[in-house]
């Protein structure tokens, strides 16, 4: 008995000693063997004393590499000498080139023992690990930096928290997951470990942590009241890029240089999109298209969710509800009316006798478990398998599936692509011991009642397209979506399922409701444990290539749910399965701003009017006006919710018509600003502090935003409100609709009498805005972007406080990746004269029909054809001088 008690006491003492350890008790490292050259620094790091082994095994020896890559970018990499520890593959995120610069705006200093470092911009310390010992273990990294008191930190997504992150007791977990309802304080669909630290008049800088492992990033304060940011990851290396700024916009540009400039989108992609999960057949889809037309609401692109699939199997068509011949007729009808069509593709392939599975099985491109058998889970079609994007055969497999299924002759000729469930989502919990039992949840229950009885005719469609008899009895889902040395692939012997350090994953264990994390990929042998967060982005990249394979030379619109750093170079993003709630309406602004201005994924928007739950006429009307200022503008909702197409309510229809007309008049302004971001990384959709970085009143503002540099958008905030208290910085603004000037004095102003069809828009002084106008003989607002491109321009000149204004207009064919000709027209107004210059090449075939000068007593207007300038100059094919 005494020996038993002694052993229990001994085990308890050992247990308490191990788990009482904290990072402060670990030894840290010392710097030895310093090799400093012009522009770079190499140092060996050696563990000081005995191993700590806090959550796994300490690495006794490390290397430090510091590179001054540009005058504004510093790269700090801490890694293992053998380079066996996993690093994000360059095939997924190519590393930026290094350019030598003598004039360095950012400096690196370090302490030898225990090792710590600082990054400085002049005398300003941007990153400071002093007093905090580095921990580098096989499955745990810890790095802490001190930050100023009361900091302004933004980024670290994806999340639905405030734009300006909380300053204490805040943890941002990065582990991609299917997150129905996009709950706050939770990890969501994407991982973007980059933050912007804005210090007002002192300047702004950014820090990008290139690591795709699961992690908790904490913002808190120490016992002595000092605030810090702390990285706690489950593996990988410390790979940091410091971006010197010193303005928020410059940080955005510098980050784009690291992760890649965003992909340019086609002109039509900025039109209105409509979708619903639950369209019962191709005839209902066609009827929605017709109803939008009858309501005179411009519909650019019609989408279809998984409803079109045969038993929810990817790359199939339901032969009764969405037969191939009818689908091709629908597409031809849309194309004949200058409209577009998009379908959804999920990564999970049905484990059954179907072409996509059979071909993938023959090519052995699916993920396999430790036994070598295909790893199986459960998604919409039942038991499924997943493509391995690291397999060298997978891209060819994916290309061929796209080429066959989306073939104009024998398939569905889509214009863009929608990717869902690519976190990857799995209905089967961890451990997924019997996928078949959980596949029953995704089985196809009996269909709801028919949509039409008897079916209604579809005016405008051919007679043989009309529905015959009652709606086909089918089955439809009702379940919601919530339900080696130097190889850099990872050290062997790790616990890939249950590491000792557990991140705060809202789904529970790492493998819960996703692909099992001990799966090893083909090729170099990356573990899913390390590459989970890049699975969705790899699918996105492969899908973009497949779209290009079938339509070479044309910009593919690909919208994805799961993202990682650099995804914007390939795709756009919708903000996931939100809810029809006012809070979701409000937080969509902060989410959108984070993706567009910080994460460099500017083709972004939320499901307008909400995805889950039932919207209301008031909410949907307000959301229609707000959504008109999302870069990606789509109305989408869920099966089981009431239909919410814009024509369902008179007020919503009126709000949509008015806001879309405003959006379309401004579409070339948007297109130009978006193009500029793809060339330089300069964000066009911005929080107020990006435009007024020295105005402290803007730092917390997440309910207003700038649409380009020139337009301030101030949405109504809540239910029942017909006014909004909006902040106007110290500047001159003009009401977009009335042209009435408003002098801002760094104060709030109440904007009253805002009808449900309205959204306050103000022009910031100092800009020339090109607007599309109604051409001669037109019947009203353009109904498609193709029609819009034939409309002439009006130039809106809004002088700033100094009386001058500038602007630009980018023109191309609207769809080619490399257009044959382009124009970049510049406008400069000063001292009563408007100068039109720039580079001219693309012949748009339209005129500058009128010019409006704001700020005049009568709002003076001049017709360009009455000016003493040559007609060729007014066609935007050469320079011009116009007296105003």
Q: What is the DSSP string of 525-565?
A: --BHHHHGGGHHHHHHHHHHHHHHHHSTTBPPEEEES--BT
Per-residue model confidence (pLDDT) at position 456: 64
Domain of 704, CATH number, reads: 2.60.40.1180
Residues 815, 268 contacting (CB under 8 angstroms): yes
Per-residue model confidence (pLDDT) at position 442: 57
Considering only CA atoms, give the Rg of the chain: 28
Q: Which residues pair with 385 in a beta bridge?
A: 349
Q: Which of 127, 137, 120 is nearest to 57 (CA)?
A: 137
Is 166 among the domain residues? yes
Is 387 among the domain residues? no
Is 584 among the domain residues? no
Q: Where are the beta strands (DSSP E) in 640-757?
A: 685-686, 705-707, 711-713, 724-728, 732-735, 741-743, 747-751
Question: Which position among 420, 607, 618, 682 bears the catalytic label?
Answer: 420
Task: Give the integer Cα–Cα distance in Å for 629 and 685.
Answer: 9
pLDDT in tens, 127-164: 999 999 999 999 999 999 999 999 999 999 999 999 99
Q: What are the Cα distances from residue 872, in Å, to 313, 718, 846, 869?
A: 55, 49, 10, 9
- Element of type H or E holding 273: strand 272-276
Task: Give the integer Cα–Cα distance in Å for 398 and 541.
Answer: 11
Task: Give the integer Cα–Cα distance in Å for 141 and 491.
Answer: 14
Is 218 among the domain residues? yes
DSSP 466: S
Strand ranges of the sheet holding 141-147, from the earlier edge strand across to the other edge: 135-136, 141-147, 227-233, 215-221, 170-174
Is 302 among the domain residues? no
Largest Cα–Cα distance in the chain?
109
Task: Give the integer Cα–Cα distance in Å for 722 and 108.
Answer: 53
| 577: annotated active-site residue | yes
Helical packing angle, 582-593 and 617-627, nearest 10°? 10
Query: Which of 246, 279, 298 is the last residue in one of the domains?
Result: 246
| 423: annotated active-site residue | yes
CB atoms within 10 A of CB 319: 10
∠ CA(62), CA(67), CA(71), 5° rounding?
155
Q: Which of 425, 402, 381 is nearest to 560 (CA)?
A: 425
CB atoms within 10 A of CB 749: 16
Q: By residue range, what is the domain housing residue 852? A: 680-883
* Residues of the chain predicted below pLDDT 50: 1-20, 444-454, 470-484, 858-873
Residues 814, 672 contacting (CB under 8 angstroms): no
Task: Give the integer Cα–Cα distance in Å for 186 and 394.
Answer: 32
Residues 827, 809 contacting (CB under 8 angstroms): yes
Residues 543, 576 contacting (CB under 8 angstroms): no
DSSP 3-state of 507: coil
Per-residue model confidence (pLDDT) at position 460: 76
Pairing relation of β-strands 107-111 and 805-811? unpaired
Task: Give the integer Cα–Cα distance in Å for 834 and 36.
Answer: 54
Per-residue model confidence (pLDDT) at position 292: 98
Query: Which of 230, 246, 262 is the last residue in one of the domains?
Result: 246
Is 801 among the domain residues? yes
Task: Give the integer Cα–Cα distance in Å for 828 and 768.
Answer: 8
pLDDT in tens, 748-763: 999 999 999 999 999 9
Q: Where are the alpha helices (DSSP H) in 552-649?
A: 582-593, 617-627
Is 279 among the domain residues? no
DSSP 520: B
Question: Which position among 423, 528, 645, 695 bears the catalytic label?
Answer: 423
Domain of 111, CATH number, reads: 2.60.40.1760
Question: Which position among 346, 577, 668, 758 bears the catalytic label?
Answer: 577
- Element of type H or E holding 127: strand 124-128
Task: Give the integer Cα–Cα distance in Å for 500 and 54.
Answer: 9
Q: What are the Cα distances from residue 152, in Å, to 123, 198, 252?
A: 19, 5, 16
- Please state the domain count of the chain: 2
Per-residue model confidence (pLDDT) at position 856: 77
Residues 374, 349 contacting (CB under 8 angstroms): no
Per-residue model confidence (pLDDT) at position 485: 53
pLDDT in tens, 260-311: 999 999 999 999 999 999 999 999 999 999 999 999 999 999 999 999 999 9
Residues 602, 631 contacting (CB under 8 angstroms): yes
Helical packing angle, 667-680 and 248-259, nearest 10°? 60
Task: Give the integer Cα–Cα distance in Å for 710 and 767.
Answer: 6
Task: Give the integer Cα–Cα distance in Å for 413 and 335.
Answer: 10
Task: Give the integer Cα–Cα distance in Å for 867 and 875.
Answer: 13
Q: What are the Cα distances from residue 644, in Å, to 276, 573, 607, 610, 616?
A: 9, 21, 11, 9, 9
Is 863 among the domain residues? yes
Residues 676, 670 contacting (CB under 8 angstroms): no
| 44: annotated active-site residue | no
Query: Which of 215, 246, 277 is the last residue in one of the domains?
Result: 246
Task: Give the integer Cα–Cα distance in Å for 716 and 145.
Answer: 39
pLDDT in tens, 518-566: 999 999 999 999 999 999 999 999 999 999 999 999 999 999 999 999 9
């Amino acid at each position: 008995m005494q020996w038993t008690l002694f052993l229990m006491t001994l085990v308890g003492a050992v247990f308490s000693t191990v788990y009482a350890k904290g990072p402060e008790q670990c030894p840290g490292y010392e710097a030895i063997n310093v090799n400093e050259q012009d522009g770079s620094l190499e140092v060996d790091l050696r563990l000081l004393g005995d191993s700590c082994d806090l959550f796994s095994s300490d690495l006794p020896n490390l290397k430090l590499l510091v590179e001054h890559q540009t005058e504004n970018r510093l790269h700090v990499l801490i890694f293992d000498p053998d380079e066996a520890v996993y690093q994000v593959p360059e095939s997924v995120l190519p590393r930026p080139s290094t350019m030598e610069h003598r004039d360095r705006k950012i400096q690196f200093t370090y302490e030898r023992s225990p090792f710590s470092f600082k990054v400085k911009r002049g005398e300003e310390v941007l990153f400071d690990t002093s007093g905090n010992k580095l921990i580098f273990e096989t499955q745990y990294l810890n790095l802490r930096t001190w930050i100023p008191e009361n900091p302004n930190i933004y980024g670290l997504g994806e999340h639905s928290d405030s734009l300006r992150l909380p300053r204490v007791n805040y943890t941002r977990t990065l582990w991609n997951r299917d997150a129905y309802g996009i709950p706050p304080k939770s990890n969501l669909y994407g991982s973007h470990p980059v933050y912007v630290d804005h210090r007002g008049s002192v300047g702004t800088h950014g820090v990008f942590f290139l690591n795709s492992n699961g992690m908790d990033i904490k913002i808190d304060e120490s016992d002595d009241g000092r605030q810090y940011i702390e990285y706690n990851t489950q593996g990988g290396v410390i790979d940091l890029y410091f971006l010197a700024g010193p303005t928020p916009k410059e940080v955005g540009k510098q980050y784009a240089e690291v992760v890649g400039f965003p992909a340019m989108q086609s002109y039509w992609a900025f039109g209105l999109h409509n979708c619903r999960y639950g369209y019962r057949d191709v005839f209902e889809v066609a009827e929605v298209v017709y109803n939008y037309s009858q309501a005179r609401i411009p519909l650019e692109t019609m989408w279809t969710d998984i409803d079109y699939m045969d038993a929810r199997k990817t790359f199939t068509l339901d032969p009764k509800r969405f037969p191939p011949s009818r689908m091709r007729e629908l597409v031809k009808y849309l194309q004949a009316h200058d409209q577009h069509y998009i379908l959804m593709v999920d990564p999970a392939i049905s484990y059954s006798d179907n072409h996509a599975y059979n071909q993938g099985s023959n090519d052995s491109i699916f993920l396999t478990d430790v036994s070598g058998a295909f790893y199986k889970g459960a998604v919409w079609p039942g038991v499924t398998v997943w493509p391995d994007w690291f397999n060298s055969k997978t891209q060819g497999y994916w290309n061929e599936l796209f080429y066959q299924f989306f073939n104009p002759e024998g398939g569905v000729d889509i214009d863009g692509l929608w990717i869902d469930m690519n976190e990857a989502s799995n209905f089967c919990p961890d451990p997924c011991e019997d996928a078949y039992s959980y596949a029953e949840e995704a089985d196809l229950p009996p269909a709801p009642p028919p949509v039409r009885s008897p079916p209604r005719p579809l005016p405008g469609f051919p007679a043989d397209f009309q529905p015959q008899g009652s709606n086909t009895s089918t089955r439809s889902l009702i379940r919601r979506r919530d339900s080696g040395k130097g190889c850099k692939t990872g050290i062997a012997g790790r616990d890939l399922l249950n590491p000792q350090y557990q991140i705060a994953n809202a789904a529970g264990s790492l493998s819960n409701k996703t692909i099992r994390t001990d799966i090893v990929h083909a090729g170099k042998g990356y573990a899913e444990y390390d590459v989970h967060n890049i699975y969705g982005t790899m699918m996105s990249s492969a899908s973009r290539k497949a779209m290009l394979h079938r339509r070479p030379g044309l910009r593919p619109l690909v919208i994805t749910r799961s993202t990682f750093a650099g995804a914007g170079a390939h795709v756009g993003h919708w903000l996931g399965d939100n809810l029809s709630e006012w809070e979701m309406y409000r937080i969509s602004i902060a989410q959108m701003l984070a993706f567009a201005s910080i994460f460099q994924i500017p083709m972004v928007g939320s499901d307008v009017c909400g995805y889950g739950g039932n919207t209301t006429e008031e909410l949907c009307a307000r959301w229609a006006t707000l959504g008109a200022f999302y870069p990606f503008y789509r109305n989408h909702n869920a099966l089981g919710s009431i239909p919410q197409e814009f024509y369902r309510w008179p007020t919503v229809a009126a709000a949509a018509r008015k806001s879309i007309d405003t959006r379309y008049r401004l579409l070339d302004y948007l297109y130009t600003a978006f193009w500029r971001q793809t060339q330089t990384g300069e964000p066009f959709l911005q929080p107020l502090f990006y435009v007024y970085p020295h105005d402290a009143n803007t730092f917390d503002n997440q309910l207003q935003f700038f649409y380009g540099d020139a337009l301030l958008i101030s949405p109504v905030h809540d239910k029942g409100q017909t006014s909004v208290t909006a902040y106007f910085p110290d500047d001159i603004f003009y009401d977009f609709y009335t042209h009435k000037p408003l002098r801002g004095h760094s104060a709030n102003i109440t904007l009253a009498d805002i009808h449900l069809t309205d959204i306050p828009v103000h022009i910031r002084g100092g800009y020339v805005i090109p607007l599309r106008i109604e051409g001669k003989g037109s019947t009203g607002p353009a109904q498609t972007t193709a029609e819009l491109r034939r409309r002439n321009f009006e130039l809106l000149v809004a002088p700033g406080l100094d009386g001058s204004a500038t602007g630009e207009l980018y023109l191309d064919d609207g769809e080619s990746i490399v257009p044959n000709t382009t124009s970049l027209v510049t406008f400069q107004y000063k001292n009563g004269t408007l100068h039109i210059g720039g580079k001219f090449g693309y012949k748009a075939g339209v005129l500058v029909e009128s010019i409006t000068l704001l700020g005049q007593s009568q709002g003076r207007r001049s017709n360009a054809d009455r000016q003493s300038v040559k007609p060729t100059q007014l066609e935007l094919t050469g320079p011009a001088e116009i007296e105003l």
